[in-house]
Each structure stands twice: as C-alpha cells, then as structure tokens.
Amino acid sequence: MAGFILKADNLHKNFDEFKAVKGVSFEIGEGEIYSLLGPNGAGKTTTISMLTGLLSPTSGNAYLNGFSVREDVNRVKEIIGVVPQEIALYPTISARENLSFWGKMVGLKGKQLSERIDIALEISGLADRAKDQVETFSGGMKRRLNIAVGLLHEPKIIFMDEPTVGIDPQSRRRILDTVKSLNENGMAVLYTTHYMEEAEELSDRIGIIDHGKLIAQGTQEELTQMVGEFDTIKLNIGEIENIEERAKKLCKLPKIENAFGENGDLMLQARDANEVLSEVIEHLNNVKIKIHSLKIQEPNLEAVFLHLTGRALRD
C-alpha cells in the first residue's frame, strides 16, 4: 500500500474547559480525497487548525509526510496547502496582486511565480478578472480565488475547509470539479463539509465527525452498510411550520427508529418501510398534512448520520 501523506493520532483540543476535539485519529493516503463530514461545531476547523500547525494539540500528534506538526511545523507548512473556511484575501487589491503576495509568502518568485499565478487564475476561471479588485467579486469568485491561493505552491496535500458554503450553484460545481481534477493530478485532499452530497461525490473515504469525535469512517459503501438493514422513507409535505416537531411526533410511532424534517421533507427510518407506511400516512392524514411525494431511498450518508446520532446532518 502507498504511504500515508497524513496521519492524525489521537488529536485532542481543549479551549479552557471546553473540549472541541476529543481524540481524532485517521489517515489519508497519497492522492486520496478524504472528507470530514459533520455539522457545524463538530470540530472540523479545529482539527484542520491542528493539522496545519495553527493550533497546537492539547494532546496527540499528527504527521504530514512523516513530519510532526509539533516538532517540524515549518517542514509541514512547506508541503501543505490550506483553503481557510473564511475568505482570507485582501479585498482592496487585485486578484493577481493577491496571488503574487501569497505566492511570495510560500517562497515562490520570478518566472515560476508568474507561471503559477497564471495557472491558478486559469484553474479558478478568473483570468479575465485578474486585474480587478477582489472586493468587486461575487461570493463564488472570491471562494475560487481563496482556493487558488492555496494551490499556488502545488502542495502534496490540500486542506479545504467548507469551501462551498454560501455560494451559487455554478461556483459550487466549478469548485467540486476543481477538487476532482487536482486529485487526478495526484494531490491529496482533506475536504470538510456538512453537505452529504459533496462528501459522497468527492470522497474516496469519509470520516463522520460529531461533537469532536470521529464516530465512523470508511468508504461510502462501508458507511452505508451500517444502515443497510434500514429503509429510509422520504416524504415531501411542502414547507410547513414546526416540521421538526412533526418529525418528533412521528418518531413516537412504533417501529420508527429515527425521524427528522427539513426543507419540506420528512425523513423516516424503519427496518421495514412497508410495515410503517400505512400508519405514517394515516397519522399525517389525521393532522391534515398533505403528502406531495413519497420515496423509499437507498441508504445514504444522511441516513448514516441520522442512524448514528439520532439527529439531522445540517447546520
């Protein structure tokens, strides 16, 4: 088996009394895309901060290409690229000036620097806006530039912390495609998200993180097998008030394991969908809720999270 580019070994991080990360261990192989999937506040950013040398772990250690983040943090910084969750750019100078500055900060210069800047502009699709001030960019363009900065020195592994939060579908599509094409060129990726579809689409392996702990990890198949014996029923009932409370009430029906409601959908888990369907429909009829559509779903990561935590995976 190829070596690990990253190995996190029982990382802990306390902020005073509060334990934000409680023993996270995982590995990323060379050229692998690994996603940390978890809701807001799960500890994704804190974990990345420890892996990139920004925060020192309360206990545990991590190694990048064999270098410890505790002892060899400068060697670590040379091989990693980081795309922070918040857009970290200078808004009043141009895209090219931003790239040039950050390129110099990772040690690029001269011809190599300008070549890499051109490549980065190409990748992010911003070549025609290179001279414009960043503050004139849309949210999606800023996110793309934010990523491009992290790619300048062609790192062996790139950390992307929720790079698609709050942007338009096209930019999101473009970012996901960028991640894939970078990976095809051999770059390993640590990708954090709270969108299950992104984790499903991108990842070779996925770690599900909640309350500072990795509660499950593996390939998508391995993870969904965990809920293999369950059916997930998805009912579209349209936007109604108190959808979460409706879900909780449904949970009390016999044989329903888990339930949650979101964006007009009710998601229910049961060992056998057919056994519970009639009861669910009757219950909704009684409370005068109209069902627009009904689907029995293949197990997915959302279902896994629901199964493991009894909660919905969202912010």
Partner 1 sequence: MKPWTIALKDTLIAFRDRNAILLMIAAPLMISMIMGAAFGNMGGNTSPISEISLIIVNADKGELGKNFTEIISSIDVESSEGIKPLFAVEEYIDKDEAIAQVEIGKARGVLYIPVDFSTHVENRGESVNPPLLEVYTDPSASISPGIIRGVVQRIVNGFNTISIGNNVAVEQIFENLDENSAQEIYANLENLEEIIIAENESFGKVEGRRERIIITSKTLGAGEDLDLLGYFVPSMSIFFLMFAAFEGTRSILEEERDGTLHRLMITPTSIIEILLGKIGGTFLTGILQFVILVAISALLFGVHWSDSLLPLILLTIVTVIAVTSLGAFLAGFSRNANQAGILGSTLNLVFAILGGNFILTTAFPDWLTIISKLTVNRWALDGFSTLALSHGTLINILPNIAALLGMAIFYFTLATVLFKRRFIK
Q: Retrieve residue 242's tokens.
A: 């108190």
- Smallest distance, Å, CB 90 to partner 1? 6
Element (H, E) at 74: helix 73-79
Closest distance of CB 43 from ligand ADP, Å: 4
d(CA 103, CA 160): 18
- Alpha-carbon separation of residue 197 from 25, 146, 217, 219, 300 (angstroms): 24, 22, 16, 14, 9
Binding of residue 38 to ligand ADP (CB under 6 A)? yes
Number of residues that bind ligand ADP (CB under 6 A): 11
- Residue 71 is which amino acid? E
Asked if residue 100 binds Mg ion (CB under 5 A), the reply is no
Which of 2, 17, 18, 185 is in the footprint of ligand ADP by CB under 6 A?
18
| The one among 5, 11, 42, 233 contacting ligand ADP by CB under 6 A | 42
Enumerate residues 6+ apart whose C-beta is below 8 A from 242: none
Could you tell which of ligand ADP, partner 1, Mg ion, none binds residue 42, using a CB distance below 5 to 8 A set by kind?
ligand ADP
Q: Residue 227 and residue 251: Cα distance in Å, rounded?
A: 17
Side-chain-facing half-sphere of 276: CA atoms under 13 Å: 26
Residue 18 CB, nearest approach to ligand ADP (Å):
6
User: Can you tell me which of 11, 13, 45, 120 binds Mg ion, judged by CB under 5 A?
Assistant: 45
C-beta closer to ligand ADP: residue 36 or 126: 36
Q: How far is the CB of 261 from partner 1 (least distance, A)?
A: 34
CB of 233 to partner 1, least distance (A): 42
C-alpha angle 92-93-97 in degrees, rounded to nearest 5: 160
| Residues at the contact surface with ligand ADP, assessed by CB under 6 A | 15, 18, 20, 38, 40-46
| Residues at the contact surface with Mg ion, assessed by CB under 5 A | 44-45, 85
